[in-house]
Structure 1
Amino acid sequence: MSAYTALTRANYRAYVRDRTTVFFTFAFPLLFLVVFGLIFKGQTVEDGGPPYINYIAPGVLSWGVGNAAMFGVAFTLMHWRRDDILRLIWRTPTSLPSVLASRYAVAVGVGLVQAALFVGIALLPLFGLHLANTWPLAVPVLVLGITTFMALGLVVGSIADTPEAVAAIANCIMVPMAFLSGSFYPSDLMPGFLRTFSRALPLRYFNDGIIGVLSNRGSSTDLAVACAGLIVFTVVFGLIAAKTFRWSNRG
């Protein structure tokens, strides 16, 4: 068995063993879907436009998937470093790319299952999401978004030394970003200066990509811009993570 396979299996088993985390990973975005879906049921953003759920469901989905990807890798990295698991791995022939790739495989798998469950529930008559025929393109956009927020999670997990610090830093990043990026309401309703500022946030590009392919909003150029934005943020966060990464809290 290769090091990558063994690490991926260990990551998967550790994830499913924590049933509380698994439950809230899937339930948390669904809670927002229920709240917003029932509040704005049957409403449209503008006269003759698509239903409100076609804006809010993709935004909540991208936020929920990004949130799970960032928190998952941040907590894992922090715990592995604090418990000296990373130091033990460092003393073996296992390479750092194998360690990261194994965690990445789990993050992508969880994110895709999370998205499938979320969309399946949003399609119920109670919520009334209508998928565009471009919806299969959501898969590569989701993978890009998960990659971006996992890279951000590596930064958070490299900086924070305790679970409390991870939660505090991650929440300070994700909660304001959700509102400023249009996850909970259409970005078109925000003031112009906030729409401009949101272009500096990775979640804005994730939202635009998912909304575009699930609700058929925007052109292929808009989708390309969203994907390019996610790639740029992945590179930036990856470089920062490489600079801040530590094998152990001991230095």
Structure 2
Amino acid sequence: MSETMQAGTTPEMGMRRFGRVNWLGLATLCQREIQRFLAVWTQTLLAPLVTAGLFLLIFSIAIGPRRGDVMGVPFTHFIAPGILMMTVIQNAFANTSSSIMISKVQGNIVDTLMPPLSPMELVLGYFAGGVARGMVVALVIAAGLWLVLGLGVAHPLWALCFGVLGAAFLSGLGIIAGIYAQKFDQMAAITNFIVTPLAFLSGTFYSVEALPPVLHEITRFNPMFYLIDGVRFGMIGVSDSAPALGLVISLVSVVAVAAVAWNMLRRGTRLKA
């Protein structure tokens, strides 16, 4: 009998002790999180497309004819990438936060915590669902923009990188919010007073160069600004900041929220009785 069995543990537990990944468990969690939003695609995929279309239509009718070009491109083309990215990050946040919140309220969060999954595997599994939903939403809206506006993608790789990072960043924030919130009204408060304002005030509908100096500098500390600005550069080739700087800040932001989410899951913050 091996030392592992003599110590009263199973070989699988011994494997995990040496840092091996539970690929089956991770794949199962990823599949569950993806199937969650695919099962209600009219709410998670069709609704964001309609909402983005309404934003674009309203701003085009109300402001577009008088606004003229912004940074050398038509106003509707300028705001289209911002609307796309705003929708992506909102859906990525909703996917992870609602998954954890509903599990807590229904009392079945233990079904996720009991399997032999490490905190990092849990983070990656939730990230997979949020990023997948964000990317599917991005593809759907991008296809709509191409059909309606003829808007293509100037720099596909940049657009893809910022799109994935944006979905990952908000997926991490969604995990943190889902763990922290104890009731649905607390989650609604986080969404309405933190996530939505940060998304709207990140250059989604305007160039930050038009802001007063104080607000301009404050915006530079908002990670969502660099995500939206980066996707705008990827799609139409113009931006308010250097794409390379935005990429670095976005990467650091994703690592930071992932670390906080990992620590909360490791400690069982607001998850264990």
Which bracket does the TM-score occupy, shorter chain normalised?
Answer: 0.7 to 0.9
Report the counterpart of residue 201 of structure 1 in structure 2: 222
Alpha-carbon contact 1:182-1:207 (below 8 Å) kept:
yes
Q: Residue 190 of structure 1: CA displacement?
A: 1.5
Q: Percent identity?
A: 23
Distance 2:127 2:157 in 1: 21
Runs of 5+ unmatched residues, structure 2 = 1-22
What's the TM-score once normalised by structure 1's chain length? 0.86
The offset of 1:171, in angstroms, is 1.7
Partner in structure 2 of residue 187 of structure 1:
208
Query: Given residue 111 of structure 2, which amino acid in structure 1 is its aligned partner?
Result: L
Change (3 A) 1:185 1:149: same
Cα RMSD for the two superposed structures = 2.5
Shift in alpha-carbon separation, 1:27–1:170, aligned structure 2, 3 A: same
What is the aligned partner in structure 2 of residue 97 from structure 1? 120
Q: Of the candidates 58, 63, 75, which is equivalent to residue 98 of structure 2?
A: 75
> Could you state the TM-score of these two structures normalised by the residue count of structure 2?
0.80
Offset at residue 27 of structure 1 (A): 2.9
| Offset at residue 16 of structure 1 (A) | 2.3
Unmatched segments (≥5 aa) in structure 1: none
Counterparts of 1:92 and 1:56 in 2: how far apart (Å)?
44
Superposition map of 1:96-175 within 5 A: 96-125=119-148, 128=149, 130-131=151-152, 133-175=154-196
Give the secondary structure class of the aligned counterpart of 1:161.
coil
Give, in whole Å, the separation in 1 of the partners of 2:152 and 2:38: 30
1:165-209: CA deviations, max 9, x gaps? Answer: 112112211222133211122222211211110111111011110
Write the mapping of 1:45-60 to structure 2, written as runs, cut at 5 A. Answer: 45=69, 49-60=72-83
Distance verdict in 2 for CA 1:159–1:92, change over 3 Å: same
Instruction: Say how many residue pairs are matched.
Output: 247
For residues 136 and 53 of structure 1, the distance between their equivalents in structure 2, rounded to whole angstroms, comes to 23
Comparing 188-197 with 99-108, greater Cα deviation is found at 99-108
From the CA coordinates, give the structure whose radius of gyration is larger.
2
Instruction: Give 2:8's aligned residue.
Output: none
* Pick aligned residue for 2:251 from 207, 228, 231: 231
Q: Is the 8 A contact 2:180 2:270 kept in 1?
A: no
**Distance in 1 (alpha carbons) for counterparts of 2:35 and 2:258:** 26
Conservation of the 8 A alpha-carbon contact between 1:152 and 1:237: yes
Q: Which amino acid aligns with 2:68?
A: T
Q: Could you tell me which residue of structure 1 aligns to residue 39 of structure 2?
A: 17
Q: In the superposition, relative to structure 1, how do residues 106 and 250 fare at CA in structure 2: closer, same or farther (>3 Å)?
A: closer
Partner residue of 1:61? 84
Return the letter of the residue paired with 1:61.
L
Distance (whole Å) between structure 2 residues aligned to residue 202 and residue 26 of structure 1: 24
Q: Which moved more, 1:141-150 or 1:182-191?
A: 182-191
Matched to 1:103, the amino acid is Y
Partner in structure 2 of residue 28 of structure 1? 51
| Distance across 2 between alignment mates of 1:62 and 1:237 | 19
Cα displacement (A) at 1:242: 3.5
Equivalent residue, structure 2, for 1:2? 24
CA contact (8 A) 2:34 2:132 kept: no
Is this contact kept in 1: 2:81–2:231, CA < 8 A? yes
